[in-house]
Amino acid sequence: MRSDIVKKGATRCAHRSLFHANGYGADELSRPLIGVCNSFNEIIPGHMHLKSITEAVKLGVAAAGGTPVEFPAIGVCDGIAMGHTGMKFSLASRELIADSIEAVTMASGFDGLILIPNCDKVVPGMLMAAARLNIPSVIVSGGPMLAGRFHGRDISVSQAFEAAGKFAAGKMTQAEMTDLEAHACPGYGSCAGLFTANTMNCLSEALGMALPGNGTIPAAYNGARLILAKCAGKVVMDLIAKNICPRDILTRDAFENAITVDMGIGGSSNTVLHLTAIANECGIQIPATLFDEISARTPYITKLSPAGHHHMQDLDEAGGINAVMHELSRKNLLHLDALTVTGTVGDRIKDARIERDDVIRTVDNPYRTTGGIAILKGNLCPDCAVVKASAVSEDMLVYRGAAKCYDSEEAAINAIMVGEIHDGDVVVIRYEGPKGGPGMQEMLNPTAAITGAGLKVGLITDGRFSGASQGACIGHISPEAMEGGPIALIRDGDEIFIDIPNRKLELEVSDAELAKRRAAWTKPEPKIKTGYLARYAKLTTSASTGAVLKV
């Protein structure tokens, strides 16, 4: 066993005494040591209940003959961090999570890992750690939040963000806004729509690193979640016995499966960053063009919030990710022989079926014949830009408008709230990329304010968007402004052309004029010059390569 390095031999006498101090007896030390990484905290609603999930995991490990050893991981609540300096730390926290898990695991000599995330950067951070460490590992999340109820309809946190725009536009009173905020998030779990956290938990299934139901069984369904957690504890012991490690599962085929499912369900645009970063840990390069190639052949068969009115509990009731994958397999879109933590994909999904055809459509009757995410190219984004096409209304798929430029998210939000933005504009938010932000802030506040106000505008940024964002919101523009990308050269009034079906994003300014502007451009001072974010800004790569830290 790998853990023998901390348990066996005369030179490990002191090590064993330290284990004894923690209450581990000789019998427990004779078994495989399983690191159980619990990201519980009292900040994120998706993590408040993870103590009970962790205890169930530990029971499963012990029942299968292992010794569970719990340790913590940090987590940032994107919703609470949204719209202020805290959001700069969100994406950057992904690397801290991966690094800290690596540190504890290597220092402790664990034989296997159970990783317990739930929200946003925690899921990809833990998957990155699993890939990097390459010891038998299973992901088991805390599950999605149930939708809230307001005036007879299902809602989620996205409606709470949109309320600010409605209030500013005079479409909602203070009393109505207070009433809505009391009902939008009814309990524990990752926010109820197909936002980044729930997308990544679903894709953990598609990658093969999590058990069926991981992404869709609601957190409120306590019994089902605890059974899943106990099962995960047993599964990791089976992986150890068979010596199946993450890189045996996280193959090129697995990533293609995950991207296919992502396109089929219309997942968060942040998945382009995260899947690229996880693949990087496996030594697999995933170019942005692969997302578009897979999108071109993958029908969009679910329409969950924010694109539609269904939520994660509906997807679970409809058959979950297994049903989605089974349906996509009817078009031969998946690698069925890809390995998972419990056999092959084909074995896993063979008996799955659609239980609610109003939630999961067939591949013969999709919402759209192409996938939920589009990769754009053009003189404004020579490397790439990303848009969640599934959340763009039909009348905004092709759009031309005049630029209104803001050098920070805060400046753009202020402009929206005071009525500076009008129909026909293209809001440009720049210097918010991985280096410029630093940390590549999510732009849910401005997108929600625009939606709430009922404005018909485009929005482009070298930052990124929340999975809860909707509309013609184009992010990840690369190269970013801080690197001198074309987005830094836009001026108020410039015409910008968006053509999502044809994958184009163009700044309608002549090459000669752009060359003149480039010659006059000077790189601004960093927004943050000390601490972790200053180090992050120096080490991070472009959004087009996953915004990972350079080695």
What's the burial of 342, exposed, middle or buried (CB within 10 Å: 0-12/13-18/19+)?
middle
* Catalytic residue check, 466: yes
DSSP code string of 16-77 = HHHHHHTT--HHHHTSPEEEEEE---SS-TTTTTHHHHHHHHHHHHHHTT-EEEEEE-----
**Under 8 Å between Cβ of 507 and 494:** yes
Q: Quote the tokens at residue 211.
A: 């058990």
Query: In the beta sheet, which residues pair with residue 112?
Result: 34
**Type and span of the H or E element at 100:** helix 88-108
Task: State the Cα–Cα distance between residues 189 and 183, nearest whole angstrom.
Answer: 14
Q: Which residues of 142-174 are buried (b: 16+ CB within 10 A; e: fewer)?
A: bbbbbbbebeeebbbbbbbbbbbbbbbbeebee
Query: In the beta sheet, which residues pair with residue 339?
Result: 344
Tokens 């219309």 map to which residue?
Answer: 266
Residue 446, preceding peptide bond in cis (omega within 30° of 0): no
Q: Quote the tokens at residue 447.
A: 């997108």
Catalytic residue among 466, 469, 542, 544: 466
DSSP code string of 469-486 = --SSEEEEEES-GGGT-G
Task: State the Cα–Cα distance between residues 316 and 364, nearest whole angstrom.
Answer: 21
**Under 8 Å between Cβ of 88 and 438:** yes
Phi, psi of 318 (to 5 degrees): -80, -5
CA trace torsion 84, 268, 397, 545 (10° rounding): 80
What sections of 418-541 are H helices per DSSP?
A: 444-453, 511-520, 531-539
Task: State the Cα–Cα distance between residues 198 and 490, nearest whole angstrom.
Answer: 35
Phi, psi of 499 (to 5 degrees): -135, 90
Query: In the beta sheet, which residues pair with residue 504?
Result: 377, 499
Tokens 């304010």 map to which residue?
Answer: 449
Q: What is the DSSP letter of 368?
A: B
Catalytic residues: 466
